[in-house]
């Protein structure tokens, strides 16, 4: 499965992976039934393989930037992989309750795969990474993204995979010839329909072209918070801004926590940024740690924020935080036990759930800081009141791993789901602009100090997923489960009693 995602992009591997997984489950059936413990164990092993390979960058974050030893890093990464694998596997315990024939298996496998992905998108604050649908930003199935999102693409992909597995196995009870035809149609039709759906413009542009400039300063993570490197950091962003100002851009983007200081610690610099934005008529959006004082919340609160300097100054505070990176779960118990639980930004507090969009260059921007872009429902809800998606990040935490490339791919899916341009500003890459069809139209290479310009449009209107959310996918998955259960009970064999009334051995 990992080979189907960026940077490998062998999308067919997602189909083969799920088909092999389904085939293994079918092969484990005993007397046409799928034992719950067996399916749970097999799904857990599948999850271990998926997260140990696909989320291998977690080890880099823990050891390289969390300053953990190799044994501790392996232990923490192993624990993370095991927990995520268990969350993936848990719904599959119930697969056998819906399955004893080929038709019911295909329906139940696809629906439970969706439930598995949805479940781990919110439990323990969620880790919605490595969803099968992310491999299909450029296939026919991408047309379903504005309707059912990445969740629905995964469901349809799993349905096709289950039918492939059934074609290679005869372990489950057979069905009539007409049933075979229904299975084949159910597996194949979503693909050409997706191709047709991709031709629909769910949203439309409003106003003229907006010219965007972005500064990728390439600040090494190990130097980012060093006081002696602060001057160099500020110089890189100011030089990049001056260069972009000469190119007649409308708005300039700096990445997440671009300035290594609190907003309140540098009032002179903040005032200078505001004056420069007003004088040049170029709005600036930057990530910065923003400090507030709220006696009701225990005094000083520090937020991971995005601030606009220009004609409409405003601030957005990140809502969905990263465990350990921005806050420490069970802080009173584990803070200080090891260095990894005391990272330099692990004191962040989340912002209010309801916050207005940012305004820059005459358009409304949906701000999504780093990890927030991987939550489909959060982005869809935020995009309803905005015309452009803005995500700022610091993927230096992932090092030279596959993590930043996967992160970029997920951002592309959010543009597809909402029918909006997406602007992504990062410290070390990938800095890019994505069009409403999910295609990268401009980008900078990783680990280079560089600037970039590109054009976007403000988009209005809403996709079906923005209006209905994940409930649309449930409206597809739950009837599939109900039908699978109905077919299972209808085809359940009656007891074969002997003449004496006793069940045979």
Active site residues per annotation? 256, 318, 370
Q: How far apart are the first and last CA of the chain?
A: 43
**How far apart (Å, rounded) are the C-alpha atoms in residues 394 and 258?**
8
CA distance linking residue 261 with residue 105, whole number of Å: 55
Cβ neighbors of 467 (< 8 A, separation 6 or more) are none
* Pair 262, 289: CB distance under 8 Å: yes
E-only strand ranges, 53-119: none
**Separation between Cα atoms, residue 232 and residue 73, nearest integer Å:** 31
* Residue 28 exposure: Cα atoms within 13 Å on the Cβ side: 20
User: Closest by alpha carbon to 322, among 133, 66, 75, 149?
Assistant: 66
Which two tokens mark 351? 């912002």
3-state DSSP assignment of residue 404: helix
CB contact set of 500 (below 8 Å; sequence gap of 6+): none
Rounded to whole angstroms, the Cα distance separating 412 from 255 reads 18
- Strand 283-294, strand 251-253: pairing: parallel
Residue 123 and residue 50: Cα distance in Å, rounded? Answer: 18
Residue 321 contacts residue 269 (beta carbons within 8 Å): no
Sorted by sequence, the CB contacts under 8 Å of residue 420 that are 6+ apart come out as 203, 366, 383, 386, 387, 388, 389, 436, 459
Determine contact, residues 434/417, Cβ cutoff 8 Å: no
| Rounded-to-10 torsion of CA 180, 181, 187, 189 | 180
Buried b (16+ CB within 10 A) or exposed e, 315-325: bbbbbbbbebb
The pair of structure tokens assigned to 75 is: 């232990």
Q: For the chain, what is the radius of gyration of the CA atoms? A: 25
Query: In which residue are the tokens 């189907």 written?
Result: 4
The CA distance from 112 to 208, in Å, is 45
Whether 251 and 284 have beta carbons less than 8 Å apart is answered as yes
């Amino acid at each position: 499965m990992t080979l189907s995602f960026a940077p490998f992009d062998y999308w067919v591997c997602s189909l083969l992976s799920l088909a092999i997984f389904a085939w293994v489950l079918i092969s484990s059936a005993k007397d046409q039934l799928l034992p719950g413990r067996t399916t749970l164990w097999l799904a857990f092993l599948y999850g271990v393989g998926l997260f140990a390979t696909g989320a291998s960058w977690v080890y880099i974050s823990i050891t390289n930037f969390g300053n953990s030893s190799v044994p501790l890093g392996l232990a923490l990464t192993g624990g993370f992989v095991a927990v995520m694998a268990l969350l993936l596997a848990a719904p599959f315990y119930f697969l056998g309750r819906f399955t004893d024939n080929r038709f019911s298996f295909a329906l139940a496998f696809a629906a439970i795969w969706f439930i598995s992905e949805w479940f781990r998108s919110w439990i323990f604050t969620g880790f919605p990474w490595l969803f099968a649908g992310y491999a299909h930003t450029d296939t026919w199935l991408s047309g379903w993204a504005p309707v059912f999102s990445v969740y629905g693409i995964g469901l349809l992909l799993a349905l096709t995979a289950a039918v492939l597995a059934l074609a290679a196995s005869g372990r489950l009870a057979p069905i009539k010839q007409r049933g075979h035809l229904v299975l084949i149609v159910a597996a194949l039709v979503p693909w050409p329909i997706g191709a047709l759906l991709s031709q629909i413009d769910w949203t439309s542009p409003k106003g003229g072209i907006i010219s965007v400039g972005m500064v990728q300063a390439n600040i090494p993570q190990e130097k980012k918070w060093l006081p002696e490197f602060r001057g160099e950091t500020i110089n890189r962003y100011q030089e990049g801004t001056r260069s972009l100002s000469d190119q007649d851009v409308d708005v300039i983007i700096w990445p997440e926590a671009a300035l290594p200081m609190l907003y309140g610690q540098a009032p002179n610099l903040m005032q200078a940024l505001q004056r420069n934005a007003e004088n040049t008529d170029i709005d600036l959006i930057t990530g910065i740690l923003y400090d507030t004082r709220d006696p009701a919340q225990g005094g000083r609160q520090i937020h991971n924020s995005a601030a606009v300097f220009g004609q409409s100054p405003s601030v957005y505070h990140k809502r969905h935080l990263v465990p350990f990176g921005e806050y420490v779960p069970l802080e009173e118990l584990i803070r200080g036990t090891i260095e990894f639980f005391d990272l330099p930004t692990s004191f962040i507090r989340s912002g209010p759930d309801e916050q207005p969009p940012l305004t820059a260059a005459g358009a409304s921007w949906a701000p999504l800081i780093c990890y927030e872009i991987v939550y489909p429902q959060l982005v869809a809800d935020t995009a309803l009141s905005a015309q452009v998606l803005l995500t700022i990040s610091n993927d230096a935490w992932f090092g030279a791993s596959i993590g930043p490339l996967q992160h970029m791919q997920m951002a592309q899916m959010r543009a597809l789901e909402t029918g909006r341009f997406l602007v992504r500003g990062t410290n070390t890459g990938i800095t890019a602009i994505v069009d409403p069809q999910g295609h990268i139209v401009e980008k900078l290479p990783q680990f280079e100090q560089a600037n970039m310009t590109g054009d976007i449009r403000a988009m209005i209107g809403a996709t079906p997923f923005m209006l209905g959310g994940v409930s649309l996918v449930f409206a597809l998955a739950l009837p599939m489960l109900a039908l699978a259960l109905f077919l299972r009970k209808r085809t359940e064999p009656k007891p074969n009693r002997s003449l004496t009334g006793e069940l045979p051995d």
